[in-house]
Amino acid sequence: MTDTAPLLKIENLRASAGGTEILKGVDLTVGRGEIHALMGPNGSGKSTLASVVMGDPQYEVNGGRILFKGEDVTEAAPTDRGAAGMFLAFQHPQAIPGVSVTQFLRQALSNRTGADLTALELRLKIMDAMRELGMEPSLADRYLNEGFSGGERKRNEVLQMAVLAPELAIMDETDSGLDIDALGAVADGVRKLQSPDRGFLIITHYQRLLDHITPHRVHVLLDGRVAESGGPELAARLEEEGYGAARAATASL
């Protein structure tokens, strides 16, 4: 691990599921303090990339490397990646009946840092984070995501990031199914979690989330490859024109 290495560096990553290749040579780098947006149509491989970076065992890596803070984590277990400082906010967070938000965070924090906080210390840490994020304190005592609205589930993912303090946060279509108010609340939480040492890779279909969070770089994923990269203006162009130009550029290669 070196302080000068990029936070995340994906090199020629190829991956498959069930014998079908989905990622076909992805190259992407996220530096410390940066927000990157990954856009693309359905089936382009966006969620697969997030899952492969986090070590989901249902995918097979066929080539390339995933480097986190300069260390090769391509073969590392998901728990080891989480402990190292990587985090994935799911597109569809699952409910866990019988396990409260506080209980879940206690176990997750122990796995992340090795710290075994007292019940009071953990409670204060969670309450501080919830207050900073403008969240209703009673949510901490509810079973994880059980009966939560879409907005509550996504806010809870932001709460997890605030408590676990990962260095790399991958957010897989966090804006999916959110109304305007919930979208604004989630975006505000992400802005509050920005720091010079933390990087974000935000996967989204639409410009609307990026109206609230300005990315440093925008990448277009098509057919398992990064077809185009640019600044925030690229997302605005995609909103107006769709993916036709990026497809044409890819076809000409």
pLDDT at position 3, please? Answer: 67
User: Regarding predicted confidence, which is higher, 224 or 181?
Assistant: 224
Q: How far is the C-alpha of 102 from the C-alpha of 106, rounded, in Å?
A: 6
DSSP 50-66: HHHHTT-TTSEEEEEEE
- Buried b / exposed e across 87-124, counting CB within 10 Å, b at 16+? bbbbbebeeeeeebbbbbbbeebeebeeeebeeeebbe
What pLDDT, in 10s, does the model give residues 191-209?
989 999 999 999 987 778 8
CB neighbours of 188 closer than 8 A, spacing ≥ 6? 133, 134, 212
Kind of pairing between the strands at 96-100 and 143-144: antiparallel
Whose tokens are 């856009």? That residue is 39
Tell me the pLDDT band of 212, cut-offs 50, 70 and 90: confident
Give the chain's domains with CATH numbers: 8-91+167-251 (3.40.50.300)
| Joined tokens for residue 94 | 């699952």
Q: How far is the C-alpha of 167 from the C-alpha of 91, rounded, in Å?
A: 20
pLDDT at position 95, please? Answer: 85
| Joined tokens for residue 97 | 């009946």
Contact yes or no for 173/205 (Cβ under 8 A): yes
